[in-house]
Chains A and B, each alone.
Chain A
């Protein structure tokens, strides 16, 4: 299977199963656009007749394509897993990552919040006590088997509202990690309202990554991310984020925003964030089609054009690191990781202040998907297994998608929200993912000096 596309003036073919990527000239691109399957030994007459190039030129290009095919770099077979036996892939992956909801309370009232502005629809706002967090650390140590690297993301609501629990959890994990043969890596996802000199210093010392929530332009951010009192949050937060970033050194951080159908010109928000810090992530909102802010299929042409605009901007600003255009073609994850996806529900779980365990942060509050509880020690292996068996072969729509080894099956939570089925991909999300990948690969070609 191949995918041909043009982006940023580049003509590109992705050989889906081998992972090979080639930059084409007009002739070779025109030939491949005509081909649905593997190439035969000689240029087919009907292809030659159809294309407006000299015979000799077409023959040359055909031979080059044929050489690639013979080298396993074009129309390679997918022989990773027999699709018929894909269901037999390991179903009880070890849990190696926690989204620790230390606070189900928040000091902002974002209009698109999937956490219902912090309480996840429960009606009661609370923070996690240290005893529960300690059990979470013990849980992940016990469940992670031989995996050494363990990730814990302090999440919410707003995790800075439970800073004491954060600090005691880090201290506890550090005190047991060596004996347990683990290496804990902590991250925090914060809206920044409660940042001060003390916790900025703490985050920059202890957190391997800090995800800083901000939606870009002041007017966009303040419309969608107001304070409890209904005031804008931009002026309150941005100086604090700047201070944190200035002290971050070489450690990772991302300014992370969400775009909605209210503001589809999100490239401007990326540019705004890039003026504050160079690592930027701006993602499409998740919502049901009935939500006024949710992205719809009718928005796709506009959104795709916006990604192209963003890629054009980034082409000339290579110091800006846009997370969703990062694709490591040569040294990225192995194919085994790629066919299995995000790991929600089997490698990655979310834990609430009550100690309830869910497949990921987006499932929190959905009782049907609750996996267990830290207090009573329950963990439903059968439910977890439903997530472990998800892969690009068991998700029907992924079988024919060229991007399957890049996105790895998409987001189960989005699928459930939009289609009522964790296995059925969310069309808008898939279309945007494919567009982002095309832009990302084209930027790689430009970086490599292969653009014409």
Chain B
């Protein structure tokens, strides 16, 4: 494309199918204790 570069595809949509295993880290257990950010956690689903 001439005018647009896609940095990321429809990853959220794709994650819905096999998500929700709950094995990922709890956000406040990492390096934040006051300002929750979930998108910086790692996915730990070994079955997807």
Binding site for B on A (CB under 8 A): 12, 15, 17-25, 27-28, 60-61, 64-65, 67-68, 72-73, 76, 80, 93-94, 96-97, 99, 114, 147-149, 151, 153, 187, 189, 209, 211, 254, 256, 258, 279, 281, 283-286, 323-324, 326-338, 341-344, 347-348, 360-362, 405-411, 414, 429, 432-433, 436-437, 441, 444-445, 448, 450
Chain A residues near B27: list those with CB within 8 A.
341-343, 408
Whether the Cβ atoms of A28 and B4 lie closer than 8 Å is yes
A258 to B34: give the CA distance in the assembly, Å: 9
A408 to B24: give the CA distance in the assembly, Å: 15
Whether the Cβ atoms of B42 and A328 lie closer than 8 Å is yes
A19 to B13: give the CA distance in the assembly, Å: 7
Contact of A347 among B9, B22, B37, B40 (CB under 8 A): B22
Whether the Cβ atoms of B35 and A361 lie closer than 8 Å is no
Whether the Cβ atoms of A151 and B25 lie closer than 8 Å is yes
Question: Could you jot down 14 A-B contacts, CB within 8 Å?
Answer: A18-B13, A24-B3, A72-B13, A99-B28, A147-B22, A148-B23, A149-B44, A283-B33, A330-B8, A334-B21, A337-B24, A348-B26, A433-B35, A437-B39
Contact of B6 among A20, A285, A347 (CB under 8 A): A20
Contact of B15 among A97, A334, A360, A361 (CB under 8 A): A334
A436 to B40: give the CA distance in the assembly, Å: 12
Q: Is the interface of B mostly helix, strand, loop or mixed?
A: loop
Whether the Cβ atoms of A342 and B28 lie closer than 8 Å is yes
Chain B residues near A153: list those with CB within 8 A.
29
If A334-B15, A338-B12 touch, whether A96 touches B26 (CB-CB below 8 Å) is yes
Whether the Cβ atoms of A407 and B43 lie closer than 8 Å is no
Contact of A209 among B21, B31, B44 (CB under 8 A): B31
Contact of A99 among B3, B20, B29 (CB under 8 A): B29
Chain A residues near B40: list those with CB within 8 A.
323-324, 326-328, 332
If A25-B3, A343-B26, A361-B28 touch, whether A17 touches B12 (CB-CB below 8 Å) is yes
Chain B residues near A286: list those with CB within 8 A.
34
Chain A residues near B41: list those with CB within 8 A.
328, 332-333, 337
Chain B residues near A406: list those with CB within 8 A.
37-39
CB proximity of B24 to chain A, nearest CB, Å: 6
